[in-house]
Amino acid sequence: MPIDLCRIIQLPKISDPRGNLTFVEGGKHISFDIKRIYYLYDVPGGAERGAHGHKELKQLIVAISGSFDVELDDGVMKKRFHLNNPSQGLLVSPMMWRDIKNFSSGSVCLVLASDYYDEMDYYRDYNQFVGDARRIPR
């Protein structure tokens, strides 16, 4: 199933009494080159983000601070991931509907993305997404 390609990966972690350091190199720790980063922060309690899918975009989602849940849906199967570790990231394949919720206070959601922002790459309508996703041979 496409959703099985989405998984939490361990990133390099340099532990140090002065503070830990984690890094990500495009094409090395993740399969794609990083063209864009963005981050969600100051998320009010109870707010939900996401609620869309991407046609081509690949992403790595990291809870840089705090925690939140990412619910992925490939049109057939759903999986929920709890992110709360800045040395780990969730790989999200193309054609995944995602809902991001249950943000802890002060949490920051960092996203490394394979391409520039392009609204044409989005599915904003769930039914349209499911219709197209279910046409992909599995």
**Catalytic residue (one of 29, 52, 54, 82):** 52
How is residue 97 written in tokens? 């509907």
Closer to ligand TYD by CB, 54 or 75: give it: 54
Helix (H, G, I), strand (E, B) or coil at 62: strand
Provide, rounded to whole angstroms, the least separation between the CB of residue 137 and ligand TYD.
27
- Of 74, 88, 83, 82, the residue nearest 20 (C-alpha): 88
Q: Which stretches of the chain bind ligand TYD, using CB under 6 A?
A: 36, 38, 40, 49-50, 52, 117
Q: Is 52 a catalytic residue?
A: yes
Provide, rounded to whole angstroms, the least separation between the CB of residue 33 and ligand TYD.
16
If one counts every other C-beta atom within 10 angstroms of the C-beta of residue 132, the result is 14
- Of 75, 81, 128, 68, the residue nearest 97 (C-alpha): 75
Provide, rounded to whole angstroms, the least separation between the CB of residue 85 and ligand TYD.
20
The answer to whether 69 touches 100, Cβ cutoff 8 Å, is yes
Closer to ligand TYD by CB, 35 or 138: give it: 35
Catalytic residue positions, numbered: 52
